[in-house]
Amino acid sequence: MKIVMLGAPGAGKGTQAKKIAESYGVPHISTGDIFRANIKNDTELGRKAKTYMDKGELVPDELVVELIMDRFKEPDCEGGYVLDGYPRTIPQAEALDSALEEAGEKLDYAINVDVPDEVIINRMSGRRACLKCGATYHIQYNPPAVENTCDACSEELSLRDDDREETVKNRLEIYHEQTEPLEKYYSEHGVLYNVDGTKDMDEVFESIRTIVGN
């Protein structure tokens, strides 16, 4: 079960990736986790990645794919994996497919959590966080008992910069330009499956279970 998760920022693909990992006993893999693990363990690949990160530069796609393929060799990936947050562009997808092919492997599913922009904007711009204890709320779906006040520690809640409407719209524009074309790419490769991300998260997961099997 080799899965790539697709979807716009705020669509809930990370949540679904975690649920898949927990339900099927496969690792939930993100490039950020891979970078941190390799840098912490001072691996050769980690040192290479760190030279770019320390300069504020993007890690080249070739090195990212090398790090990902190295992670896939770990014992916990024997039964598959859920790759979340990568690839983000067609060239990255092509590089990953090429590396998998060289290893005699291929992706089984590219699961796209489909959510309209207006729903994502509403979801993200309505989020509030407590900077003291880390509790999170939503002014519509999960409001605090007292407006703009944390239930747990009574601190004032904040709107994170990443959740501001103008920031969300900008992230969505980048997504549509750079990442959305992956839907066509994976469709042409016969592995794309769409699920309705506007439903309750458990309903979304049931849709995914229907696709990948029980």
Total of domains in the chain? 1
Q: What is the CATH number of the domain that holds 104?
A: 3.40.50.300
Which positions are catalytic? 13, 88, 127, 160, 171
Question: In this structure, are residues 130 and 150 in contact, taking their beta carbons and an 8 Å threshold?
Answer: yes
Q: What is the pTM of this model?
A: 0.86
Question: Domain span at residue 92?
Answer: 2-27+74-115+169-212
Q: Is residue 137 part of a domain?
A: no
Distance CA 155, CA 153 (A): 6
User: What are the pLDDT digits (tens) for 46-99?
Assistant: 999 999 989 988 889 999 999 999 999 999 999 999 999 899 999 999 999 999
User: What are the pLDDT digits (tens) for 174-204?
Assistant: 999 999 999 999 999 999 999 999 999 999 9
Q: Is residue 128 part of a domain?
A: no
User: What are the pLDDT digits (tens) for 150-160?
Assistant: 999 999 999 99
Q: How many residues does the chain have?
A: 214
SS3 80: coil
Q: Which of 4, 7, 21 lies closest to 123, judged by CA?
A: 7
Q: Which of 214, 209, 6, 210 lies closest to 107, judged by CA?
A: 6
